[in-house]
Amino acid sequence: MTQPHRSSLPIPDVAIADEFWSPRRATVRAKTIPHQEDRLREGGQFAALRFEWRPDPDDDRERFPIFWESDVAKWIEAASYALASESDPKLDAAVDEAVALLAGAQQEDGYLNAYFTAIKPEGRFTDLRDAHELYCAGHLIEAGVAHFQATGKTSLLDVVRRYADLIDREFGPGGSCEGGYCGHQEIELALVKLFRATGERRYLDLSLRLIDNRGKAPFYFDEEARRRGTPGYFGGQGAVVRSDKRSREYNQSHAPVREQTEAVGHSVRAMYQYAAMADLALELGDAGLREACERLWRDLVDTKLYITGGIGADPSIEGFGPAFHLPDKDGYAETCAAIGLVFWAHRMMLLTGESTYVDVLERALYNGVLSGASADGTKYFYGNPLASDGSVERSDWFDCACCPPNLARLLTSLEEYVYVADEAGPTVNLYVAGWARFEYGGKRVLLNQESAYPWDGDVRITVEPEAALRVPLRLRLPEWTSAEPSVTVNGAAVPFAVDRGYAVVDRTWEPGDRVALSLPMHPVAVRADARVGAAHGKVALQKGPIVHCVEEVDNEAPVPHLVIGRGGEPVAEHRDGLDRITVAGLVDEPADGGLYRTGSTPVRPTEIRTVPYFAWANRGKGTMAVWVRETP
């Protein structure tokens, strides 16, 4: 086993104090987490853990309880991250209550799933494909690790270890599920976290076993269906996926993972699987898993990635369509999938040390992830389409409530994505004001970041080692940079090497040294590969990491009638906390008079105005588009 060379800093070693993320994270603490707690109490999730909940035969949402432990777990996980960066006795007590409920619901043998304990005990581990038990177990494990790391309490960690130990027995040699794996990947990456938190190697081995069982013939899901003699929990996935091939691709069990070459199927399942593969490749130095990850990454990034960092264009499977199938209005791009991409990209960066993965992480984070919540943090998008005919708005909640808590746990753990403790030197991946504490050569060194990112590319970093320290400081050079970046130290330009997308400033740092990184950031027009039909003859505007969109409310006509002129220079201004871009264009507005008519379409000049994509749909309904027509 090789040791990892890179790791995230622990949350308590990072502070985020900026004007972009801090208010959003405060909203998650003040509104989202309490709101989600209310939902768990009202929705039956807590009652289910007391075995007080019974299905209502008239309610066709009867199937959702099979996700309920994951709802509770993601809430505990988000709350734990929040507690890691700021104490909150009331929240701490609420988490303790939920942990006690989980501990009370755990069976003698370690099993922990209310539905398959109270309602359908004969069904335990008989429908791995659809019943989501290991998916829930994975979220419980992630919550147990987060809760332990945030509070030092082992109350939930002990519970999830006992459950993981049961799973290890059942899925081990001679166990009732030998050769099995879950239909919704999640536990694989959770077990790596559990290994890291406990040092228990068998959790890592179990994760690898689940990963390597996947997709091998004879197919486990066929075998369990034969043994069970029923089509399964969801009636055999119903209309979602009809053919064996599509059905297997849906949960990425169509081939052994090491042989998989294309991102297919349900995109959240795919992201969690690929993230676990990257984790295992890093922990085990497993070249086969690393190569598979790199192949899958290229397929996704070259052919299936929205400009917003959204993924999974096909709503019918909540997953990937064919290459270059990236429809705007009718696309999907689930919030959870973009979050999953952040998870995977982060692990790929840890595995390879290459900043290109952070470029994609940043694209997803500032665009397709953030669009998932309203400005006030109380409404959510499940899908994040790149255009709207005016009918789209965020919802309060969902029966299948995966996205809101996923967003909460990402934002409360954002610390993990900003810096990397790399053997090669302290590394800044995201430009987020605040500080971070590293240790190199036995000496502590503090970095204090200031910037108005993502609105401005000037970043100032004060380096504060305990004592003079020679270590290369690694600063990510984002792909979007529109001209050559520059670095000064204490006001003087310094040369720097570029290594795998990072500016490397290698010198002996004295306390108080001031580094200034200047990333030229101007609005630019972006065009898509010719094979992306939805972007044909269209252009998107972007400034820095922020992808913009055009909303009807800011413009003189519904968005489909706007045409961006060629050669006009887009200009950005900052107003009410957001960048706006203005560019010269035309309005075409065919007069009415019958469905079809001859005669030309009148056009008149206009100014086309944008807002950041993540901020759309906060001012009522209206047409919207990221890809806007352009004068050929």
- For residue 464, indicate whether it is catalytic: no
Question: For residues 195 and 144, is the Cβ–Cβ distance under 8 A?
Answer: no
In the complex, the smallest distance separating the C-beta of residue 594 from a second copy, rounded to whole angstroms, is 7
150-184 core/surface letters (b: 16 or more CB in 10 A; e: else): bbebebbbebbbbbbbbbbbbbeeeeebeebbbbb
Nearest to a second copy of 93, 239 (CB atom): 239
Both tokens assigned to 199: 């040092």
- For residue 86, indicate whether it is catalytic: no
Nearest to a second copy of 255, 525 (CB atom): 525
**Cα 90–115–136 angle (5° rounding)?**
65
629 binds a second copy (CB under 8 A): yes
In the complex, the smallest distance separating the C-beta of residue 97 from a second copy, rounded to whole angstroms, is 41
Nearest to a second copy of 296, 421 (CB atom): 296
Using CA atoms, how far residue 617 sits from 145, 255, 373, 390, 621, in Å, is 36, 40, 10, 9, 6
Residue list 553-572, contact with a second copy (CB under 8 A): 560-561, 563, 566
Which distant-in-sequence residues (6+ apart) come within 8 Å of 32 by Cβ?
78, 373, 377, 378, 404, 407, 408
118 HSE (CA, 13 A, CB side): 17
Nearest to 552 by CA among 473, 606, 493, 498: 606
In the complex, the smallest distance separating the C-beta of residue 357 from a second copy, rounded to whole angstroms, is 15
484 binds a second copy (CB under 8 A): no
Nearest to a second copy of 171, 480 (CB atom): 480
Name the strand (E) or helix (H) holding 298: helix 287-303
In the complex, the smallest distance separating the C-beta of residue 597 from a second copy, rounded to whole angstroms, is 6
Point out the catalytic residue in the list 182, 336, 402, 403.
402
55 binds a second copy (CB under 8 A): no
595 binds a second copy (CB under 8 A): yes
Point out the catalytic residue in the list 318, 334, 415, 551.
318
Cis status, amide bond into 218, omega within 30 of 0: yes
- For 341-383, the DSSP string reads HHHHHHHHHHHH--THHHHHHHHIIIIIIGGGB-TTSS-B-SB
Nearest to a second copy of 231, 512 (CB atom): 231
Nearest to a second copy of 183, 570 (CB atom): 570
Which distant-in-sequence residues (6+ apart) come within 8 Å of 141 by Cβ?
160, 163, 164, 187, 190, 191, 193, 194
613 HSE (CA, 13 A, CB side): 36
Q: Pick one of 12, 533, 577, 620: the residue that binds a second copy (CB under 8 A).
A: 533
603 binds a second copy (CB under 8 A): yes
Binding-site size, a second copy (CB under 8 A): 42
Residue list 295-314, contact with a second copy (CB under 8 A): 301-303, 305, 307
In the complex, the smallest distance separating the C-beta of residue 593 from a second copy, rounded to whole angstroms, is 8
**Contact window for a second copy (CB under 8 A) among 76-84, 290-298, 421-429, 529-537:** 529-537
Q: Pick one of 398, 590, 619, 620: the residue that binds a second copy (CB under 8 A).
A: 590
Residue list 352-391, contact with a second copy (CB under 8 A): 389
Q: Pick one of 103, 119, 524, 584: the residue that binds a second copy (CB under 8 A).
A: 524
Question: For residues 152 and 204, is the Cβ–Cβ distance under 8 A?
Answer: no
Nearest to a second copy of 23, 238 (CB atom): 238
Which distant-in-sequence residues (6+ apart) come within 8 Å of 459 by Cβ?
431, 449, 450, 451, 453, 475, 516, 517, 518, 519
- For 169-218, the DSSP string reads HHTSTTSTTTT---SS--HHHHHHHHHHHH--HHHHHHHHHHHHHTTPSS
Q: Pick one of 504, 525, 553, 584: the residue that binds a second copy (CB under 8 A).
A: 525
Q: Pick one of 1, 217, 239, 287: the residue that binds a second copy (CB under 8 A).
A: 239
Residue list 445-464, contact with a second copy (CB under 8 A): none
596 binds a second copy (CB under 8 A): yes
Q: Pick one of 198, 356, 482, 486: the residue that binds a second copy (CB under 8 A).
A: 482
423 binds a second copy (CB under 8 A): no
584 binds a second copy (CB under 8 A): no
538 vs 563: CA distance, rounded Å: 9
- For tokens 């001031």, name the residue: 514
3-state secondary structure of 612: strand
Nearest to a second copy of 3, 598 (CB atom): 598
- For tokens 């970041």, name the residue: 449
Name the strand (E) or helix (H) holding 540: strand 538-543
Q: So which residues are the catalytic ones?
A: 318, 402
Question: Which residues of the chain form contacts with a second copy (CB under 8 A)?
Answer: 239, 301-303, 305, 307, 389, 482, 524-530, 532-533, 536-537, 540, 560-561, 563, 566, 586, 588-590, 592, 594-601, 603, 629-632
